[in-house]
């Protein structure tokens, strides 16, 4: 409903080519009874010729005001009152989150009344905001090098985020972390650029905007004094919005940059981009890190956008002309800045003859969010046989689609945009099939990858003596691995078997299985070196409990070990293992289903895992694959299978 109002007004405003004054008059007319307030602002800056630039700025704000909205009315005010009681109470932060989430049941966000800013904003507030922004730009130290156009987009706006309340946010937030800049005036180098000051403040904001929560805050409308630095949310959106408002209050020209959807994992993401001079920017994760030389190196971003105050005319036209528009592209106050972050390609996707939709004016490029395909950009269709998409980052799998009646409709197979900038279409070859072995359903997280490094050069040993003084090494890990099994060629019967980690860090192993020559699981008394903790999740028993989230952790930093006393000498034919992990390895007892994409997901069958890997047969070559755990979890990622390895995208 809110989006409908935005597009209606923007269509009225930009439906024809008009002069600045005509555009301004349209907004003044739309303002209705609030027209006088907007005219007061214009008249105020017309009085003094020295304010001519401020007059231009005021016109910029008013002309581009349609689509910017604010909550009004009794419900939002009551929500603020109740939220303040919760946030400034003595309750623990997780209790606050629970109560704020419950508050949404009493005050559903869809019930909040809202109006266009031009119909409610007051002249005094807008004048005060414009004057403060100009003081920061022209009299401050941190934005002297930027242009007027940059100032209008990234310093001037009277709000930093949609539905932000009209209050004295600049003056309230300005003192935060001021002690960080106290001595900057004594350093001629640091004082000549906003680089060092902005970085220092962002690091200082860690304690202000970073919170540790067990459960997320579902939604909030708390961008308002006095909530700004007290919002119990750990979302990057809240963190970035808060850090941005604090930075702008101090006179930095800052933008909110973001990806609508990561191309290679779930969720969106946002961060700060700070202008340190005209058209020169530095980026940082809002409120807790130094500046970054590059944002998430190695992680494909696909499409990067920047939030703006003025609308994107191409998006306005899309939302006017397209019969159905993805929710990701209904916000017209964004612009594409992908080429600032990555080398981009303009890939050409042929339209398969049987998939052509001649009535459609627009096509979209979608990425997979672990559950569905999400459009992240669009292209106006100029050739019905092939469609060009602008500025796409290499290194991800993209699906070209139409968007009809609220659903994506592919017009070709997904394609990997490879490092050479070429499209590799993933059209499954059902005439050439194979068997594949799978160990995981999701790429390794950084922590899971690091802990699995401990496996390398670790060993399986067997012995006749309890103290392993006569130990025989039956296998040494020479390559990286997260799970699997090794065949034991030594047929000698030994009573004692163990996994030992000789490297200088604690032995960590999540699961072990010793099996005889008939592949039957052997049992015995669990033995091992001293445990690091009395917590049962990290005990010797955790290495044999078939729970990947528990693991043995040794107290010693070298030669920690865990194993079995079989009670009598036994011959072991195979040993299964799993490193400490994120529960995305194949888990024994869980049910899995493998799919491949052939213009929709096609099942290759279900299996209940009885080992640390799964083998599927009759899998088409050149297919995009997806392994789902039907028992638990949501982290599941598309992959290719090449050279007996899963390649994640």
Residue 318 placed within a domain: no
Residue 225 placed within a domain: yes
At residue 145, the 3 state secondary structure works out as coil
For 345, the token pair is 């390609």
CB 412 within 8 A of CB 425: yes
Kindly state the greatest CA–CA separation across the chain.
100
Whether residue 438 is found in the same domain as residue 455: no
Whether residue 213 is found in the same domain as residue 164: yes
Show the domain range for 606: 433-442+586-648
Half-sphere exposure of residue 75: CA atoms within 13 angstroms, side-chain side: 15
Residue 628, domain CATH: 2.60.40
Residue 52, classified by CB atoms within 10 Å of its CB into exposed (0-12), middle (13-18) or buried (19+), is: exposed
Whether residue 529 is found in the same domain as residue 597: no
Distance of CA 152 to the CA centre of its chain: 28
Whether residue 83 is found in the same domain as residue 180: yes
CB 575 within 8 A of CB 460: yes
Whether residue 383 is found in the same domain as residue 395: yes
Whether residue 421 is found in the same domain as residue 467: no
Whether residue 212 is found in the same domain as residue 246: yes
Mean pLDDT by 10 residues, the chain (649 residues): 53 57 95 98 96 98 98 97 97 96 95 97 98 97 95 98 97 93 83 90 87 91 96 94 96 98 96 95 89 91 98 97 96 98 97 95 98 98 96 98 97 97 98 97 92 93 98 96 95 98 91 97 97 95 97 95 98 97 96 98 98 97 98 97 97
Single out the residue in 518, 547, 578 at which a domain terminates: 578
Whether residue 88 is found in the same domain as residue 136: yes
Four-residue CA torsion sign, 16, 20, 23, 29: negative
Residue 598: name the closest of 367, 427, 446, 459 by CA.
427
In whole angstroms, give the CA distance from residue 384 to residue 380.
Answer: 10
At residue 386, the 3 state secondary structure works out as strand
Residue 23: name the closest of 426, 297, 311, 393 by CA.
311
In whole angstroms, give the CA distance from residue 99 to residue 217.
Answer: 10
In whole angstroms, give the CA distance from residue 339 to residue 348.
Answer: 18
In whole angstroms, give the CA distance from residue 350 to residue 352.
Answer: 6
For 535, the token pair is 């917590």
Q: Where are the alpha helices (DSSP H) in 381-459?
A: 446-452
Cα 87 to Cα 107, 181, 224, 266: the distances in Å are 16, 29, 13, 30
Q: How many CB atoms lie within 10 A of CB 88?
A: 12
Whether residue 258 is found in the same domain as residue 228: yes
Number of structural domains, the chain?
Answer: 4
Q: What is the DSSP string of 234-272?
A: --HHHHHHHHHHHHHHTT--EEEEEESS-TTSSS-EEEE
Asked if the peptide bond before residue 226 counts as cis, ω within 30 degrees of 0, the response is yes
Residue 279 placed within a domain: yes
CB 615 within 8 A of CB 593: no
Residue 37: name the closest of 143, 127, 146 by CA.
127
Residue 52 placed within a domain: no
Q: State which H helix or E strand residue 352 sits in.
A: none
Residue 636 placed within a domain: yes
Q: State how beta strands 373-380 and 415-417 pair.
A: unpaired
In whole angstroms, give the CA distance from residue 536 to residue 419.
Answer: 46
Whether residue 517 is found in the same domain as residue 612: no
Residue 207 placed within a domain: yes
Whether residue 92 is found in the same domain as residue 207: yes
Close Cβ partners of 474 (under 8 Å, ≥ 6 residues apart) = 460, 461, 462, 488, 489, 490, 572
Single out the residue in 292, 307, 322 at which a domain terminates: 307
Q: How many CB atoms lie within 10 A of CB 412?
A: 19
For residue 18, the model assigns a pLDDT of 53
Residue 159 placed within a domain: yes
Residue 315 placed within a domain: no
For residue 503, the model assigns a pLDDT of 83
In whole angstroms, give the CA distance from residue 378 to residue 430.
Answer: 31
Single out the residue in 307, 330, 359 at which a domain terminates: 307
Q: State how beta strands 407-410 and 397-404 pair.
A: antiparallel
Residue 308: name the closest of 278, 338, 337 by CA.
337
In whole angstroms, give the CA distance from residue 496 to residue 567.
Answer: 8
Whether residue 263 is found in the same domain as residue 156: yes
> Backbone phi, then psi, for 401, in 5-degree steps?
-140, 160
Residue 126, domain CATH: 3.10.620
Cα 133 to Cα 127, 174, 226, 333, 570: the distances in Å are 10, 12, 21, 20, 79
């Amino acid at each position: 409903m809110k989006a409908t109002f935005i597009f209606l007004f923007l269509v009225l405003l930009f439906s024809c080519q008009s002069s600045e004054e005509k555009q301004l008059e349209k907004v003044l007319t739309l303002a209705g009874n609030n027209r006088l307030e907007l005219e007061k602002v214009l008249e105020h800056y017309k009085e003094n010729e020295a304010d001519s630039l401020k007059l231009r700025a005021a016109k910029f704000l008013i002309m581009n005001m349609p689509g910017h909205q604010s909550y009004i009315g009794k419900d939002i005010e009551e929500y603020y009152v109740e939220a303040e009681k919760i946030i400034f109470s003595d309750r623990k932060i997780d209790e606050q989150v629970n109560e704020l989430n419950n508050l949404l049941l009493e005050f559903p966000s869809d019930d909040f009344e809202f109006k266009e800013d031009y119909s409610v904003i007051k002249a005094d507030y807008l004048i005060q905001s414009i004057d403060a922004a100009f003081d920061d730009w022209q009299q401050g130290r941190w934005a002297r090098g930027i242009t007027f156009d940059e100032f209008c987009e990234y310093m001037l706006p009277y709000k930093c985020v949609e539905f932000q309340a009209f209050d004295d946010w600049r003056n309230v937030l300005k003192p935060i972390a001021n002690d960080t800049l106290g001595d900057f005036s004594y350093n001629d180098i640091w004082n000549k650029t906003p680089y060092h000051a902005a970085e220092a403040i962002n690091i200082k904001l860690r304690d202000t905007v970073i919170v540790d929560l067990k459960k997320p805050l579902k939604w909030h409308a708390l961008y308002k004094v006095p909530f700004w630095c007290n919002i119990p949310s750990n979302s990057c959106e809240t963190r970035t919005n808060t850090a941005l408002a604090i930075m702008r209050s101090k006179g930095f020209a800052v933008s909110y940059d973001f990806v609508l959807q990561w191309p290679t994992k779930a969720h969106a993401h946002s961060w700060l981009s700070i202008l340190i001079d005209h058209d020169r920017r530095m980026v940082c994760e809002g409120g807790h890190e130094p500046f970054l030389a590059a944002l998430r190196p190695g992680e494909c971003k696909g499409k990067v956008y920047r939030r703006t105050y003025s609308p994107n005319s191409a998006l306005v036209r899309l939302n006017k002309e397209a019969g159905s528009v993805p929710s990701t592209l209904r916000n017209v106050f964004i612009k594409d800045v992908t080429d600032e972050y990555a080398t981009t390609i303009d890939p050409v996707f042929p339209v398969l003859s049987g998939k052509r939709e001649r009535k459609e004016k627009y096509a979209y490029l979608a990425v997979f969010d672990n559950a569905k395909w999400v459009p992240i950009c669009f292209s106006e269709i100029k050739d019905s046989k092939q469609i060009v998409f602008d500025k796409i980052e290499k290194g991800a799998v993209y699906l070209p689609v139409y968007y009809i009646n609220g659903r994506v409709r592919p017009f070709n197979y997904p394609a990997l945009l490879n490092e050479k900038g070429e499209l590799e279409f993933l059209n499954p070859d059902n005439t050439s099939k194979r068997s594949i072995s799978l160990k995981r359903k999701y790429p390794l997280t950084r922590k899971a990858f690091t802990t699995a490094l401990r496996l390398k050069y670790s060993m399986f040993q067997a012995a006749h003596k309890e103290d392993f003084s006569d130990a025989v090494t039956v296998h040494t890990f020479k390559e990286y691995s997260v799970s699997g099994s090794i065949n034991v060629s030594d047929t000698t019967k030994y009573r004692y078997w163990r996994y030992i980690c000789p490297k200088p860090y604690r032995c960590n192993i999540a699961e072990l299985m010793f099996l005889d020559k008939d592949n039957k699981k052997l049992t015995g008394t669990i033995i091992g070196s001293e445990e690091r903790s009395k917590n049962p999740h990290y005990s010797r028993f955790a290495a044999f409990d078939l729970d990947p989230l528990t693991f043995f952790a040794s107290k010693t930093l070298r030669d920690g070990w865990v194993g079995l006393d079989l009670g009598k000498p036994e011959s072991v034919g195979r040993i299964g293992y799993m490193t400490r992990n994120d529960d995305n390895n194949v888990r024994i007892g869980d049910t899995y289903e493998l799919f491949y994409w052939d213009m929709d997901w096609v099942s290759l069958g279900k299996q209940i895992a009885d080992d640390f890997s799964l083998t599927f047969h009759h899998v088409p070559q050149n297919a995009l694959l997806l392994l789902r755990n039907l028992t638990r979890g949501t982290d599941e990622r598309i992959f290719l299978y090449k050279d007996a390895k899963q390649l994640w995208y």
